[in-house]
Amino acid sequence: MIQDIGSVVYLIFIGGAVTFLPLLVSHHLAIRQATIYLVLYILFIVIVLLYNTELKQLQVLHDLFLIDTLTQNITILLTLSTGVLLLMLNSGSVTNNHSFELVVLILLALIGLYLLISTTSLLLLFVALELASLTLYLLAASERDTITSLEASLKYFTLGAFASSFILLGSSLIYGFTGLTSLTTINLLLDQATNLELGLLLLTTGLLFKLGAAPYHIWIPDVYEGTATPITAFFAVVPKLAFIILILRLQYLFSSFYLTLVSLGSMIIGVMAALYSEKLKRLLAYSTISHVGYMLIALTADSYYGNNALFLYVFIYIVMTLQLFTIVIYLQKANIIYIKQLAALYKFQFLLALCFALGLFSIAGIPPLAGFFSKFFLFTSALQSSLYSLTFVGILTSVIATFYYIRLIKLAFFESETFVAQRTFHVSVLLNINPISLDAVLGYILSFTTLILSLFFLVPQPLFLLVHFLAVA
């Protein structure tokens, strides 16, 4: 055991020394890149240690934290997703010269999310939540020289503090009536206690706000639009995954009727608001809200098939989100912000437009792409749990959402050249862009995610086995 610890310390020391060598010869850019490489190295060590851990279930620190198979695998997924997003951050799309600080903030947020998905205490739940939330507020202000980024951070902080007060007040009421902070013990008393409704309502409302479900979604469009794109991708993937797993663990605290209403509202509001979006990032923000509604369908099902569909949907959602936000980074380098600026994109960058189309077809649920399978198993699990209203609304909103996804493809491939000539942005910027030579790392991320979405139907068994393993954990 001591030799293993010594080996890990030795690896971290050598990796850190090699990583920080550029600091001797350069300035802010080298500091940011060196910090990213060091954090990536640390995340790699974390994945290796988690993968080689043989513990099936362990409660530590006087039962304040639960480490089990689900926690370990979700922690690995959180770590992998963060690593990919750090590579996106290293692409240079964040203009702040001191953005090496963002890497440290991302690592602190990740630690908070690690604690969040494993805690079994109301007290530690709030502490972990605030550790993650405070760093997310700072990350929203990553572009400190732009008004939109500061405005996004201020809105996020104000509304997030309001949601945190709901969670704290709800936890206080639950503790006041039960005298307990252990969530496991509180679960045993739910059938006997009669005064917990208000506390549970406040607690679950605050958690749904953090998740970004409607009608507690008002912060998402402004925050996603105002934040630097790699940070927006981080918001759309890593905290979303952590809060979904947290709600899955605390599912016994949620009313199924309440989850049904929130799921319906998220799907309807997300899809209808996206129809009137003029900016690409804002459309993706509303799309994220609708995806939260779909995930809540699986949580409402509260069954093995629901959990199986939930994990499958989450995995494919992560890949789709990474792919689309990688494309958004490319488009923003060409000053493409508005949806109408996508017109005739294929004439300037055919490969980028093709990847964009495949990603949109997948997120719309068109077979045989990966997004089709995620929605198919999701709606099947809902039907097996007799959730007919949620299934009907889910299918209907998916059809409506297909309209604005297809509209983007129409603009990119079938818009007239006359409109292209009338565009206000400088189209020659796109003429000289090679997606791989511009930034090899972004090109690899885009290629890998697009291949997963396109070829998933050929080899789906590994992911099906993994989600089954997590569903029974």
Question: What is the C-alpha separation between 415 and 434, in angstroms, rounded?
Answer: 22
Residue 272: give the domain boundaries.
262-473
Give domain status of residue 384, yes or no.
yes
Q: Does 116 map to a domain?
A: no
394 is a domain residue: yes
Q: Quick check: is 127 in a domain?
A: no
Mean per-residue pLDDT for 318-342? 90
Q: 338: exposed, middle or buried (C-beta count within 10 Å: 0-12, 13-18, 19+)? A: middle
Which of residues 307 and 439 earns the better pLDDT score? 307
Tokens encoding 75: 């922690």
Task: With cut-offs at 50, 70 and 90, classify the pLDDT of residue 25.
Answer: very low
What SS3 state is found at 330? helix
Is residue 436 very low, low, confident or very high in pLDDT (cuts 50, 70, 90)? very low
| Tokens 């739910």 sit on residue | 190
Tell me the average pLDDT of the chain: 84
Residue 331 inside a domain? The answer is yes
| Span 444-463, average pLDDT | 92
Surface-to-core class of residue 152, CB atoms within 10 Å of its CB (0-12 exposed, 13-18 middle, 19+ buried): buried
Q: Which candidate, 72, 46, 43, places its Cα nearest to that of 58?
A: 72
Question: What is the reported pLDDT for 270?
Answer: 94
Q: How many CB atoms lie within 10 A of CB 251?
A: 16
* Helix or strand holding residue 198 (H, E): helix 197-211
Q: What's the CA gap between 408 and 268, in Å, rounded?
A: 20
| pLDDT digits 0-9 by tens, 241-261 | 999 999 999 988 888 999 999
pLDDT per residue over 189-242, tens digit each? Answer: 887 767 888 999 999 999 999 999 989 998 999 999 989 899 999 999 999 999
Residue 352 pairs with which residues in a beta bridge?
none
Report the pLDDT averaged over residues 407-425: 69
Chain position carrying tokens 């923003």? 332
Whole-model pTM?
A: 0.89
- pLDDT band for 273, please (50, 70, 90 cuts): very high
Q: What is the radius of gyration, based on Cα positions, of the chain?
A: 22
- Position 300 in a domain: yes
Q: What is the rounded average pLDDT of the residues 327-332?
A: 89
* Domain-located, residue 226: no
In angstroms, rounded to a whole number, what is the distance separating the alpha carbons of residues 237 and 288? 10
- Report the pLDDT averaged over residues 355-368: 94
Residue type, 29: L
In a domain, 141, yes or no: no
pLDDT attached to residue 370: 94
Bigger pLDDT: 403 or 5? 403
> H/E/C letters for each residue in 342-381?
HCCHHHCCHHHHHHHHHHHHHHHCCCCCHHHHHHHHHHHH
Q: Which of the four pLDDT bands, split at 50, 70 and 90, describes residue 95?
A: low
Residue pair 236/269 in contact (Cβ under 8 Å)? The answer is no
pLDDT band at 99 (very low <50, low <70, confident <90, very high): low
pLDDT digits (tens, 9 = 90+) for 365-406: 999 999 999 999 999 999 999 999 999 999 999 999 999 899
Q: What is the pLDDT of residue 89?
A: 84
SS3 424: coil
pLDDT at 27 (0 to 100): 52
Backbone dihedral angles phi then psi of residue 444, each to the nearest 5 degrees: -65, -40
- Number of structural domains in the chain: 1
Among the listed residues 415, 402, 287, the one whose alpha carbon sits nearest the alpha carbon of residue 347: 415
Length of the chain, in residues = 473
pLDDT band of 67, cuts 50, 70, 90: confident
Distance CA 335, CA 337 (A): 6
pLDDT at residue 28 tops 90:
no
Determine the pLDDT at residue 81.
Answer: 94
